[in-house]
């Protein structure tokens, strides 16, 4: 059975008007993507339609001159033949132009679609990524963006081409024999209706299976990408995940079978209907000929045109199918782009200075979207410029959330974060972030060179390698980066040729170097030493003050030995501040901080309250109370 969550399908919105809107939106999309290419292709198509009309008229004239009685002199048909051949050449040229420029138009549409997605995604804040609507729309549009633009352009171009030729041949037919022209229209009805029904069935299928498809793509990635490979193997998850993937595929296959059955029925009805009409028109042709209404030449022309007409009709139907398969892209994209105005609204605001006197967190509460309980509740405290403030507390107490609010990544739901009395909501979020250097617990490991991995901390800064190395040195990364096969130019990813991976602790030092490299007055370090060895951790905290002299540092750490030197320690519990003071005052207060500190320190103490020491160790056995400030 497929998980019920996976089967939550977006309701299928059907209706003819909706499909017409999709055509209009698709034309607009392709037009925006490449006006020049669009005009060239459209021009070539119109030329082709006109040429088809000329071709039919010329054919009819030649046939009339040859078989219309009296016989034609060879010179009489020479001009027709020349025009006929020239028109054929024109058609061939137009077809080549369409084929060439269609490829460019497909490429341009793909770029345009991706660019629009990136544009909107870049405007989105972290809060938006937690929003199910945003996430859902983003996932859908991402899935379509890869393959659908080419199909969409193909469907539209092919459709336009077929329709133009259809109209041209129909006008020619009407000129030759209006009654037959009208009868031929009758072929159009069953073929078109049956054919477009096929496309609609696919459209519905694609919508119904879209959410399941996202899960399919997700599971496939877990089974095939390097990031997941380690855990999937360590937990022997491959079979479990593969079975889940198979169940989704079976579900999809089942739906596809149903859809194909519906398509088959539509096709049968359509071809049966069209054959009946074509047969009736053929009988009509013979009757008109016998009654002397049509000449042999006219009959031959009409028969030829009819063949061309039905061929193009079939092409048109196939193109409609292609289009309807790709049409969800247009809807997905439209829905996603509709989010842009609300995202853009988050961005306006004052420009902050390049320094500040104090940050005031005033009665701030924050609940994540969809969460049952607040991550922060009525939090108030002040950080003075140049202070080193540590945030401590147990897992889930709200430390990282508070750091994200300080960095302007989330706005508080109530209360305010004030920078020198200006509410952070009124400050341009992008510009405020220029003032902040953050090292997250789950920092990114860019598959770039070592140098770029550090430079990315401040892309606007134009400095020589020395400054990059200085940041690396401060983070204790210079030695191992210099020793890499290509030094700082070494690509830090084994997934690329000549790339190399680092250990987690080494990566953490690179990420630290990135934060050092950024000249920001506020530095937020969320568990910066989680993967550092004891010596590196010690060196980091011994040098924090020196490195960040004059800057404000917010430090989150579970290692109490590292936070005790902070100017102030803020203790969080269940989203609330329960203690706030220096190490000494908190220890003597005997609250949660003192309890956690003592608990951690006791791991290093022997029964007598002294630090464990190996026998023969030269170090002095340190004795004394761990609660000393
Ligand atoms: N994106 C999110 N959506 C919903 N809830 C979240 C999200 N991120 C965190 N939370 C919840 O908010 C609460 C606070 O999380 P936060 O990450 O701030 O804790 P923390 O103190 O940094 O924990 P840790 O020490 O484990 O890093 C937790 O209950 C967590 O489950």
The alpha carbon of 51 and the centre of ligand 1 are apart by a number of angstroms equal to 68
Separation of 376 CA from ligand 1 center, angstroms? 10
| Residue in this structure with the two tokens 């129909």, named with its chain if needed | 170
Q: Is the CB of 395 under 6 A from ligand 1?
A: yes
Cβ pair 374, 366 in contact under 8 A: yes
Distance 161 CA to ligand 1 centre (A): 56
Fold of 19-344: ABC transporter transmembrane region fold (1.20.1560)
Q: What is the distance between the alpha carbons of residues 177 and 44, in angstroms, rounded to a whole number? A: 28
Q: Report d(CA 272, CA 326) in Å as an integer.
A: 27
User: Residue 392 C-alpha to ligand 1 middle, in angstroms?
Assistant: 13
- Bridge partner list, 328: none
CA 291, 293, 297, 300 torsion: positive or negative? Answer: negative
Residue 61: which residues within 8 A CB-CB, separation 6 or more?
Answer: 77, 80
Q: Is the CB of 398 under 6 A from ligand 1?
A: yes
Place of tokens 């329709």: 163
Residues in the chain predicted with pLDDT less than 50, given as ranges, are 1-13, 611-629
For the chain, the residue count is: 629
Centre of ligand 1 from the C-alpha of residue 593, in Å: 20
pLDDT at 141: 79
Name the helix (H) or strand (E) containing 143. helix 132-176
The full DSSP string for 368-391 is: -TT-SS-SEEEEEEEEETT-EEEE
Residue 374 CA to ligand 1 centre (angstroms) = 10
What values do phi and psi take at 357, rounded to 5? -90, -40
Q: CA 468, CA 448: separation in Å to the nearest integer?
A: 14
446 CB contacts (<8 Å, ≥6 apart)? 452, 453, 456, 492
Structural element, H or E, at residue 568: strand 568-573
Distance 288 CA to ligand 1 centre (A): 83
Whole-angstrom Cα distance, residue 265 to residue 161?
27
Bridge pairing between strands 388-393 and 568-573 = parallel
Helix, strand, coil in percent for the chain, rounding step 5: 65, 10, 25
In this structure, which residue's CA is closest to atom 28 in ligand 1?
396
Q: What angle do CA 254, 257, 259 make, to 5 degrees?
A: 110
Q: How far apart are CA 553 and CA 539, in angstroms?
A: 17
How far apart are the C-alpha atoms of 480 and 28, rounded to whole Å?
54
The domain covering 348-435+520-581 belongs, at the CATH homologous superfamily level, to P-loop containing nucleotide triphosphate hydrolases (3.40.50.300)
Q: What is the pLDDT of residue 25?
A: 81
Per-residue CA distances from 232 to 265, 296, 442 (Å): 44, 75, 19
Q: How far apart are CA 27 and CA 155, in angstroms?
A: 11
Provide the percentage of residues in the chain whose pLDDT is more than 90.
Answer: 25
What is the rounded distance in angstroms from the CA atom of residue 312 to the CA atom of residue 319? 10
Per-residue model confidence as pLDDT tens digits over 335-349: 788 777 666 655 666
To test the pocket of ligand 1, the residue of 124, 364, 401, 529 to mutate (highest count of ligand atoms within 8 Å of its CB) is 401
d(CA 152, CA 350): 43
- Dihedral over Cα of 241, 244, 248, 249: its sign: positive
pLDDT at 74: 58
**Mutate which of 127, 135, 366, 368 to test ligand 1's pocket (most atoms within 8 Å of Cβ)?**
368
- Measured CA to CA, the distance from residue 105 to residue 127 in angstroms comes to 36
The preferred substitution site among 126, 129, 392, 400 for testing ligand 1, maximizing ligand atoms within 8 Å of CB, is 400
Q: Determine the atom of ligand 1 nearest the C-alpha atom of 373.
A: 29
- 374 CB under 6 A from ligand 1? no
Nearest CA to ligand 1 atom 19: 396
Protein residue whose Cα sits closest to atom 6 of ligand 1: 368
For residue 489, give both structure tokens: 């130019």
C-alpha 239/C-alpha 603 separation (Å) is 40
Number of Cβ within 10 Å of residue 560's Cβ equals 19
CA of 391 to the centre of ligand 1 (A): 14
Q: Is the CB of 401 under 6 A from ligand 1?
A: yes
If we measure between CA atoms, which residue out of 389, 385, 376, 387 comes closest to residue 415? Answer: 376
Mutate to test the pocket of ligand 1, among 134, 366, 376, 398 (most ligand atoms within 8 A of CB): 398
Rg (alpha carbons) of the chain, rounded to whole number? 36
Q: Is 574 in the pocket of ligand 1 (CB under 6 A)?
A: no
Report CA-CA distances (Å) from 392 to 425, 561, 571: 26, 12, 5
In the prediction, which pLDDT does 5 show? 39
**Fold match between domain 19-344 and domain 444-519:** no
Task: Give the nearest ligand 1 atom to 404 CA.
Answer: 18
What spacing in Å lies between the alpha carbon of 424 and ligand 1's midpoint? 22
CATH number for the domain whose boundaries are 444-519: 3.40.50.300
Query: Which residue from 390, 397, 439, 524 has its CB within 8 A of the most atoms of ligand 1, so it is best to mutate?
Result: 397
DSSP 351: P
- Which of 399, 402, 443, 555 to mutate for ligand 1's pocket (most ligand atoms within 8 Å of CB)? 399
Q: What is the ipTM of this complex?
A: 0.97
Q: Whose CA is nearest to atom 16 of ligand 1?
A: 398
How does DSSP classify residue 488? G
What is residue 356's three-state secondary structure? coil
The first and second tokens of residue 152, run together, are 């969409």
Q: Identify the pLDDT of residue 68.
A: 64
Q: Rounded to the nearest 5°, which phi and psi values hold at 626? A: -75, -10
Task: Supply the pLDDT for residue 472.
Answer: 92
Is the Cβ atom of 399 under 6 angstroms away from ligand 1? yes
Structure token pair of residue 124: 């989105």
Q: Phi, psi at residue 383, to the nearest 5°?
A: -115, 120
Closest CA to 143 of 217, 219, 200, 253: 217
User: What distance in angstroms lies between residue 397's CA and the mean position of ligand 1's atoms?
Assistant: 7
Number of Cβ within a 10 Å radius of residue 626: 18
Nearest partner of 433 among 125, 117, 119, judged by Cα: 125
Ligand 1 site, residue 396, Cβ cutoff 6 A: yes
| 371 ligand 1 Cβ < 6 A | yes
The domains of the chain are located at: 19-344, 348-435+520-581, 444-519, 593-629
Residues forming beta bridges with residue 573, ordered by sequence position: 576
> Which of 369, 375, 409, 555, when mutated, tests ligand 1's pocket best, judged by the most ligand atoms within 8 Å of its CB?
375
For the CA of 558, the nearest atom of ligand 1: 25
**pLDDT tens digits, one per residue of 503-521:** 888 898 899 899 889 888 9
């Amino acid at each position: 059975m497929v998980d019920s969550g996976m089967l939550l399908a977006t309701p299928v919105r059907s209706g003819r008007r909706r499909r017409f809107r999709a055509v209009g939106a698709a034309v607009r999309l392709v037009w925006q993507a490449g006006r020049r290419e669009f005009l060239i292709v459209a021009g070539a198509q119109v030329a082709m339609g006109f040429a088809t009309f000329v071709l039919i008229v010329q054919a009819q004239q030649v046939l009339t001159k040859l078989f219309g009685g009296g016989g034609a002199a060879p010179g009489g048909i020479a001009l027709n033949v020349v025009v006929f051949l020239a028109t054929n050449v024109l058609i061939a040229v137009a077809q080549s132009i369409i084929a060439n420029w269609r490829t460019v138009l497909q490429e341009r549409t793909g770029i345009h679609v991706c660019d629009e997605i990136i544009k909107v995604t870049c405007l989105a804040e972290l809060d938006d990524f937690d929003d199910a609507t945003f996430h859902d729309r983003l996932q859908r549009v991402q899935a379509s963006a890869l393959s659908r633009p080419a199909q969409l352009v193909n469907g539209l171009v092919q459709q336009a081409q077929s329709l133009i030729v259809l109209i041209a041949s129909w006008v020619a037919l009407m000129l030759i024999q209006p009654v037959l022209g009208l009868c031929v229209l009758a072929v159009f009805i069953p073929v078109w209706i049956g054919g477009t029904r096929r496309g609609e069935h696919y459209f519905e299928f694609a919508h119904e299976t879209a959410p399941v498809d996202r899960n399919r793509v997700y599971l496939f990635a877990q089974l095939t990408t390097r990031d997941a490979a380690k855990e999937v193997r360590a937990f022997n998850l491959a079979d479990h995940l593969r079975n889940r993937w198979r169940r989704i595929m079976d579900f999809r296959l089942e739906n596809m079978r149903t859809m194909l059955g519906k398509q088959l029925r539509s096709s049968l009805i359509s071809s049966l209907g069209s054959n009946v009409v074509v047969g009736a028109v053929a009988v009509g042709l013979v009757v008109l000929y016998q009654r002397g209404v049509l000449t042999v030449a006219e009959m031959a022309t009409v028969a030829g045109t009819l063949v061309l007409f039905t061929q193009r009709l079939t092409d048109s139907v196939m193109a409609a199918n292609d289009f309807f398969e790709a049409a969800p892209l247009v809807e997905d994209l439209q829905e996603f782009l509709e989010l842009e105005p609300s995202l853009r609204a988050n961005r306006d605001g004052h420009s902050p200075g390049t320094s500040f006197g104090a940050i005031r967190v005033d009665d701030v509460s924050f609940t994540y979207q969809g969460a049952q309980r607040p991550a922060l509740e009525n939090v108030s405290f002040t950080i003075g410029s140049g202070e080193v403030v540590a945030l401590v507390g147990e897992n889930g107490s709200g430390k990282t959330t508070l750091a994200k609010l300080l960095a302007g990544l989330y706005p508080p739901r109530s209360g305010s974060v004030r920078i020198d009395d200006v509410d952070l909501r009124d400050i341009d979020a992008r510009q405020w972030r220029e003032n902040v250097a953050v090292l997250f617990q789950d920092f990114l490991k860019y598959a770039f060179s070592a140098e770029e991995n550090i430079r990315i901390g401040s892309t606007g800064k134009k400095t020589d390698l020395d400054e990059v190395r200085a940041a690396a040195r401060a983070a204790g990364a210079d030695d191992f980066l210099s020793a890499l096969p290509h030094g700082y130019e070494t690509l830090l990813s084994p997934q690329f040729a000549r790339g190399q991976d680092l250990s987690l602790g080494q990566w953490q030092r690179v990420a630290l170097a990135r934060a050092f490299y950024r000249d920001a007055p506020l530095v937020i370090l969320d568990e910066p030493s989680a993967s550092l060895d004891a010596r590196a951790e010690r060196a980091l905290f011994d040098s924090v003050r020196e490195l960040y002299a004059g800057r404000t540092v917010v430090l989150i750490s579970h290692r109490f030995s590292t936070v005790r030197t902070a100017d102030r320690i803020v203790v969080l519990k269940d989203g609330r501040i329960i203690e706030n003071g220096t190490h000494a005052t908190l220890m003597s207060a005997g609250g949660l901080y003192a309890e956690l500190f003592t608990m951690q320190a006791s791991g290093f103490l022997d029964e007598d309250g002294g630090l464990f020491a190996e026998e023969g160790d030269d170090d002095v056995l340190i004795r004394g109370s761990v609660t000393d400030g």
